[in-house]
């Protein structure tokens, strides 16, 4: 499938129509936003005449609450990122949006996983699993008050069929790596999130094992596509397994008056 076709499908199903159990989806004339533990503007249809007014409307709506404007390089108007910067948003690092079409995925991804990979089904285990994330990513911790922990806990309790969390264990029983996959309802996509491995356990194939187990679940659950927001470090690995680049995104953060 051509990149243009994939991008159209992605925009429709992963930005315009997607519903997450921990967030309220709000559809406005030019904006689709999600309100909850994490607040986010996920999709926009703007032009040079209304862009600044809509940006101000979103800032006014969220007021002093933090929220993220998920900007994509194909969004309009062409200078939208510059406008967000002028309005006080902190522009995050670029993330490559990659897609794997499971109809053409390499068979190696569907071979049995040899590592000790376990699915986490008890919400009480999430803080322990997130100790890996807190040591790898500076914006996370493993306490029950961490928004990532709260979000995963809420999703696992309210919609366990839409979220699968996995961890890789060492022979000594320690958690070495963790990640999750979201499988939203009425959607052809599964999305991969959070893959992190502790430094002392890297280069053992844990990242690939987590990727494979989640892709295998996606196919077993009837999904056609797998998508991931890839960092510069993970993009080359994913590309080797057939993931295609379709666009680039930037997380643009608004933090109230402190962002001005």
104-223 matches 3-94+249-259 in CATH topology: yes
- Residue 259 pLDDT > 60, yes or no? no
Q: What band does 146 get if pLDDT is binned at 50, 70 and 90?
A: confident
Residue 257: pLDDT band (50, 70, 90) is: low
Give CATH for domain 104-223.
3.40.630.30
Query: Which among 197, 180, 62, 61 has a CA at the least distance from the CA of 121?
Result: 180
Q: Map out the domains of the chain as residue ranges.
A: 3-94+249-259, 104-223
Residue 235 has, within 13 A of its CA and on its CB side, a CA count of 14
Q: Which residue has the tokens 């986490």?
A: 120
**Which contiguous run of DSSP H or E holds residue 213?**
helix 206-220
Residue 23 sits at the vertex; the CA angle it makes with 19 and 27, to the nearest 5 degrees, is 60
pLDDT, mean over the chain: 94
If you search the block for the tokens 């404007």, which residue do you land on? 69
User: Using one digit for the tens of pLDDT, what is the confidence trace for 24-72?
Assistant: 999 999 999 999 999 999 999 999 999 999 999 999 999 989 999 999 9
pLDDT digits (tens, 9 = 90+) for 2-21: 999 999 999 999 999 999 99
Reply yes or no on domain 3-94+249-259 having CATH 3.30.70.
Answer: no
**DSSP code of residue 113:** P
* Terminal-residue alpha carbon distance, the chain: 43
């Amino acid at each position: 499938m051509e990149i243009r076709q994939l991008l159209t499908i992605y925009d429709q199903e992963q930005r315009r129509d997607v519903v997450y159990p921990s967030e309220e989806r709000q559809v406005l004339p030019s904006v689709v936003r999600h309100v909850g533990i994490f607040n986010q503007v996920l999709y926009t249809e703007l032009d040079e005449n209304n862009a600044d007014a809509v940006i101000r409307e979103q800032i006014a709506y969220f007021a002093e609450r933090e929220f993220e404007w998920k900007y994509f390089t194909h969004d309009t108007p062409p200078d939208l990122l510059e406008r967000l910067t002028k309005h006080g948003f902190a522009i995050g690092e670029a993330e490559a949006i990659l897609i794997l079409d499971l109809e053409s995925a390499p068979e190696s991804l569907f071979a049995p996983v040899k590592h000790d990979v376990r699915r986490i089904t008890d919400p009480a285990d999430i803080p322990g699993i997130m100790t890996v994330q807190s040591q790898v990513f500076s914006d996370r911790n493993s306490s029950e008050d961490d928004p990532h922990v709260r979000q995963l806990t809420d999703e696992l309790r309210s919609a366990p069929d839409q979220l699968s969390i996995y961890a890789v264990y060492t022979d000594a029983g320690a958690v070495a790596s963790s990640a999750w996959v979201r499988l939203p309802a009425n959607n052809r996509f599964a999305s991969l999130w959070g893959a992190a491995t502790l430094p002392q356990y890297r280069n053992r194939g844990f990242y690939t094992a987590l990727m494979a187990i989640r892709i295998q679940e996606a196919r077993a659950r009837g999904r056609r596509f797998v998508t991931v927001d890839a960092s510069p470090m993970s993009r080359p690995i994913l590309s080797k397994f057939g993931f295609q680049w379709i666009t680039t995104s930037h997380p643009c953060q608004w933090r109230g008056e402190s962002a001005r």
